[in-house]
Amino acid sequence: MSKKSTAPAACPCGGPSLASCCGPYIAGDAIAPTAEALMRSRYTAYGQRNEPYLLATWHASTRPDEPIMSDEEKVQWLGLEVKSALRLRQRKADDADLTKDTVEFVARFKINGRAQRLHEMSNFVREPAEAGDLRWFYVDGSFPE
C-alpha cells in the first residue's frame, strides 16, 4: 500500500477538523470563546443529534421543554455558511467585554430527502455559567427572508 496522507475529516461546520474545531466544546474540554464558535459547535451538535449539548448551550430563558429532535424527521445537515458582515459591524474593539453578539448564517439541510435552507440571525449572550466562568448561550433567532 502506498503511503497516503490521512488528513482528518473536516468539521461538519466547515472547520479544518472536528478535533481542532467544534469537538473540544462539544466534549466539554474547552469553552467556546466567541458566539460564532458556539454557533458552529451547535450546528455540528445538531448533525450529531447531541441534544444534551444543544440544551446546555441554550439560554435558560428560551430553552425548550420539549424534545428538540424527532425520530421521525430524518435531518441531514449539508453545510454551514457564516455571514460575518453584521457581526463585524456590531463588534466592539474590546472583545473581552462583549456580553451580546449576533451571528448570521445560512445552514443547508435535507428533511426526509427534501432540501431546505435556513437563514438565521442568532442572538447570543455571555453570562457566568454555574461553574462561574463566562459562557456564551444561544438565546433566539430571527429570519431575514
Least separation in angstroms between residue 111's CB and Zn ion is 22
Least separation in angstroms between residue 28's CB and Zn ion is 15
The four Cα atoms 65, 66, 68, 74 give a dihedral, to 10 degrees, of 180
Which CB, 12 or 141, lies closer to Zn ion?
Answer: 12
Least separation in angstroms between residue 120's CB and Zn ion is 17
Q: Grid cell 455558511 — which residue? A: 81
Tell me which of 25, 32, 39, 40 binds Zn ion, using CB under 5 A: 40
What mask of x and - would describe binding to Zn ion in positions 3 to 22, judged by CB under 5 A? --------x-x-x-----xx
Q: Given phi > 0 = left and psi -120 to 50 = alpha, else beta, which region is 112? A: left
Q: Are 41 and 22 in contact (CB under 8 A)?
A: yes
Interface region with Zn ion, contact rule CB under 5 A, candidates 34-42, 45-53, 72-80, 93-101: 34-42
Those residues whose C-beta lies under 8 Å from the C-beta of residue 11, and which sit 6 or more positions away, are: 17, 18, 20, 21, 22, 23, 40, 44
Summarize as ranges the residues that interact with Zn ion (CB under 5 A). 11, 13, 15, 21-22, 40
